[in-house]
Structure formats: structure tokens, C-alpha cells
Structure 1
Amino acid sequence: MEFKTAVYSEEARSRAYKRWDSIAKPLKGMGMFEDTIAQIEGMPAAHIGNKRCVLVFCADNGVVEEGVTQTGSEVTAAVAGNMASGNATVCKMAKVARADVFPVDIGMLRPVEGVRDVHVLRGTGNFYRTRAMSREDCEKAIMTGASLVKELHAKGYSMIATGEMGIGNTTTASAVACALLGAEPRYLTGKGAGLSDAGLRRKIEVIEQSLARLNPDSGDAVDVLSKVGGLDIAGMCGAFIGGAEAGIPVLIDGVISAVAALCAANICPASKDYMIASHMSGEPAAKFVFEKLGIRAPICANMALGEGTGAVALMPLLDMAYAVYGGMLAFSDAGIEEYKPL
């Protein structure tokens, strides 16, 4: 796979920091939002006031057969259907954030009316017994995600949030994170959507034994994804790369989206310039993944909904930050003595 990314402007980023320091407020008073706006300003095609959306990758995971989830795979289709009808949580939040919601079937067991069908497979294999997918199918899923972002950008969308829906995907995300970070599953694996203590022990056991048997290459994210990942993670990985190709920001949601971002950074390091963190998931792996990426998330609300909800929650906050950035008077215009760094 080869990708041609847009040229990120460090000069524009530096100008944005100078603008922040010139306006009539305490230095660094907007905290992490100053960093985020400066990062966005360096992206050649970013226009935060334009159309924005959340792209939700829906897929099923064969590892559900191993009792690592509280619910069955049928819930994936049910929630995807709610997204298509505008009744999912992300839809209600996106309406407030002025964002459109686009659910896509990249690997559900069965198609759902109203969900765009771009499926690569009808669910992945159970990686406890076989590999999740072939390398070729993994690469196809990544390319599909990248193509969807570029297609949306061509339609005028200049900010895209990543979301996912797929029962079992905290298991796949934990397995991928452990493989890429060289960490033990007991440290990076959480209860997902309400597992019992016994369920968590089983989940850790499945990940440990699968990693030992499949031995994914920590330096090759495609190898890792194809062995223990999910099609939703592969699609989101491609979405981050597609954002870098288009020159627009792509928002990271929770732990599953963050793991996809880590994969994208492994495959296409330049994609990191276009990744924006939204919130810190309560899942244990999230902290370690963000540390590896060198990214901080401004929202710490213990959200665990998935669907892209955390990323959508960031959008109105970015609007507010941009209102300050673009609308505040400079110290000289406001008649206030300029703050000096001490």
C-alpha cells in the first residue's frame, strides 16, 4: 500500500500559536484547545466551519464465539439499524454538533437497510482458532476506509469523526494494542460493555493464547490487524490515512478508534499530523495508546458509548475555541497590557 499525504504546514501552526499569544487573554488560557486549533491550522484543507460528519464503521467479530462479550453479534445489526434511522446515541449528539452520521457496513454478518454496504467480509474469523482475516482482506478494508474519507471530503466535509459499532471489538482492540505495544493483556484489557469478573478473565485468556499462537509482528500493523484485529479497526485505520491524504482533521473517538489511529501511524507516520484526540476512554488500553501516539485527549468524562460519540462531543468545544481564536481582540486593540511569558 502506498499513500500520498498532504503537506502539513508547521509554519501555519507556528502562526496560530502566535495568534493565541496575541489575543487579550491569559497566556495558554485555553489550555489544550490552543494546541488543537494550532494543529488544525497547519492542515491545508481544514475548514472547521464547513460540513462535518461522523463515519461509523460497523463490523462483526468471530471471537465473540469465545464468550468474551455480554451480548451476541445480533446487537451490531440492531444498533447499526438505529443509526440508519437516526435513533442511535451518536445521532442525537451529532444533531447538536451539526454533524451528519454515515454508518457503513464494512464487515457485518448481514446487511442492514439504510447502512451503506462496503463490506469486505461477512464478519471476521474467530482469532482464537484461526486468524481474523487474510492480509489481502485487511489491506482492502484499510483502502476502503481511506477512500470513504476522500469521497466525503470531495463532497465538502472538512472534519470527520471516526466511530465504530461491533460486538467484540474491545477484545480485538485490546489484542491489537498488546501486539503493537508489546504489553501483557492483563494490563490493557477491560470489561468493555459490562463483562463480569469471570468474563474479563476469559477475555484476557483468549487474547493471551491467541497472541502466543499467532505471533503477530509488532512492527507491521497490517500483520497485527489481519491476525487479531477487526474490519472496523482496519476501516478506521484507513480513515486516518485518508484524512492525511485529503489534508483534513480526523477525530479519534475512544479506545477502539485510538487503536486504529495507532495502526495508521505505524503504516503511514505522516497521518499523525491529522489526528485529533477527543476523549480519554475508561478502557485500560486507551492511556497507553495515547502515550505511544504522543497525543492528549481534552475530554475526560469516562464515556464508554462508542459509535463516535466522544469525537462528536468535541466538535462544539472546537467551535467555541475557534470563536475565541478568531474573534477576540488583540491586547493592543483591547487596551490591555500584553502578558509576557515569565
Structure 2
Amino acid sequence: MTTPTELPDLKLLQLFDLLYDTRSVTRVAEQLGQSQPTVSIWLARLREHLHDPLFIRTPAGMAPTPQADALIGPCREILESLRRFSAWEIAFDPATAQRRFRICMTDASHVTLLPRLLAHVRAQAPGVRLEAARIDGNTERALESGEADLAIGYVPWLSGGIYQQQLYEQDWVCLANRHHPRIRKRLSVKAYRSEGHVAITAGTGTALLEQALVRERIERQIALELPGFLGLGAIVQTTDLITTLPRHIGETLAQASDLAVHACPIPVDGFAVRQHWHARYHHEAGNRWLRSVVARLFGAAGNRLEG
């Protein structure tokens, strides 16, 4: 005997619902993909659970008892609630949403990505506020806790539990004054060694450049070190200094400050810019919307999700 606190299996509720409509054990077995003896066993179990025969065999089929008539409504309410539960998701409507998204990114992305992303969000989701945060040693914990929604950039140290999607590849370029007195059409290795440089000390890809300089046994003549890209365009525009940086930020600064873009004369390993998010928020509707916006704006077609 079952106790009053025990609940019938879902399959028994489905059996009850179908049998009430079809009045046929054979047809119920077909719809459930089960054998007729199995369905008969399930019906016996349901009868025992509810202490009622529920259906009586008649020439017209399996006729429900008064207890079955009384229970069919609650049974169908339970099944509908379970269907809603399995399909449940908090909807995210960008047109009406009131929400803040925090995105970890480098200051290069403030220049190259953020203006376009902000313009799109303001047009499609006027109640959404964006907040830019740094990429640092706290980024992984911030993604896990929900303090940050995304991290966009080259972040190779992020570990388990983080999903990632590649957006685009980066190689390296050099910027120089368009009227540089000694550099014309091409920047040679000799000129790279002898000219003064502005060195950017921050940025997640800086280590790749430093490794290349060591590998090529080049020691730059550094005249100025900057912690980021703020002011870099104006400095190169008004001096004869050169600088080495990833192509995306390089071409953006060159266009804004009328600078010359040169191929980097030494081989430097490229890298991929990706968006990253924690597995806890993989199915969260707002996070999914934001990721889809970033992928559409900055991703190449066919880029795959990476776990």
C-alpha cells in the first residue's frame, strides 16, 4: 500500500489522461509506445494508489468512474504545470528590459568595440545600461559569481566552467607619423631597432610581443611607456616615435589620428579575441541576448562555441 503523501509517477498521470480520452488500453499503449501488458500493469498500480478502479470495462470501452471524473481536472492541471516547468525560462525583451550588464574588457576594446556595442544597445534596448570593467586576476571569479556577465578579449588563463566563442583573429602592426622623416613606404627591421618607441605596458597580448622581441634579440629604444592606449594616437602624430600594437586598435587609432600603418617587421604570434561567460549563465536569457549581440557585431560567420 502507498501512503497518502506519495505521488504517482508521471507516466501514470499520462496514462490516466490518455485513457480518459480514448477509453482504450490498446490505443493508450500505442500512444505511449508501450506494450498492452505494461499499460495494464501501470493501470493496476494507479488503481492501487488511488483506491478506486477508475475505469470499468463496458461494451463501449473503458468507462470512467465518478472518482475518475473528479480527478481528471486536477490530473491535467498537474501535467500542464509540468509542461510549463520544463519549458520555463525568464523572458528577456530588450525593448522593455531594465538591466545592467557588466563586461570585462581591455582599454583597447573601449576604443574598438564599445562605441559600436553601445550604439546598438541604445537603439535596441534603451533601458539597458552597460558597465565596462577591467580584465584582471578577478575576472574568472566575477564571471562565476555573476558580478560580470561577459569578458571580451584575449584571456588565455581562464579555466574550467568558462564557455568561450571566438570573435576575430589579431595580428600585429606598427604605427608611425604619416610624415615620418626616416620611414616611408616600409618599416624595416633595421629601422625598428634604431627608431624610438612608445611601449604599451598593459594589455593581455603584451606578453606575446615581449616574447617575440626576446626571440628576435631586439631591444627597442623606448622613449615613453604608457599603461594603455589613451593619448597614444596624439603622441605618435606629433613625434617621430613608432609603436607596436594589435591590428584592430592600431587601425582604429590610425584612422582617428591620420597615422601610417606598417606591417610589423618582426614575427609576433597572433591571438584570437573571444567572448567568455560562465556555465552558470549559459542558458540565462539576458546573457544569451548579450552574447548574440556581440557575436553578430564582431564575430565572423561560422565561429563555433568552445567549452
Query: TM bucket by the smaller chain?
Result: under 0.3
The structure showing larger relative contact order (alpha-carbon pairs under 8 Å, at least 6 residues apart) is 1
Q: Which has the higher helix share?
A: 1
TM-score normalized with structure 2 length: 0.24
Q: Which has the higher strand share?
A: 2
Q: Which structure's CA Rg is the greater one?
A: 2
TM-score normalized with structure 1 length: 0.22
